[in-house]
Amino acid sequence: MIRATKPEMHVKPIDGELLRFHVRSRTRKDIWHLVDVMENACSCEQYAFRVGPQLSRGQSCARCWHLTQARECLLDYLLKHIQVEIDKTQAVELLRYECNH
């Protein structure tokens, strides 16, 4: 399960979903927006009025702050797991080397 790593949690993973998050509003702390990283979509006003139209015009890098935060959380999680896999591979290679010398 993905867990938010920042001291003041503003990205909450949704149980059973890897690519959707709730992200807290920066200005209204009681509001959480639904972000879908795969669909590059967010339920906030900024997305509805600025980002969405930019995406429709082909600006594929357009994102609101919530999308950026969710993507960063997901990337941190993936990088951590990739590192674990790299460490496992290196450990096996090291063990193989140690057993043959």
Inter-residue contact 17 to 34 (CB < 8 Å):
no
Q: With binding defined as CB under 5 A, does residue 42 bind Zn ion?
A: yes
Q: With binding defined as CB under 5 A, does residue 70 bind Zn ion?
A: no
Task: For residue 13, give the nearest of 46, 31, 35, 28 by alpha carbon.
Answer: 35
Considering only residues 10, 24, 63, 66, which one is a binding residue for Zn ion as defined by CB under 5 A? 66
Min CB(76)–Zn ion separation in Å: 19
Inter-residue contact 21 to 12 (CB < 8 Å):
yes
Residues 79 and 62: their CA atoms lie apart, in Å, by: 23
42-50, 54-62, 70-78, 91-99 -> range binding Zn ion (CB under 5 A)? 42-50
Min CB(10)–Zn ion separation in Å: 12
**């938010």: which residue's tokens?**
4
Residues that bind Zn ion (CB under 5 A): 33, 42, 44, 47, 64, 66
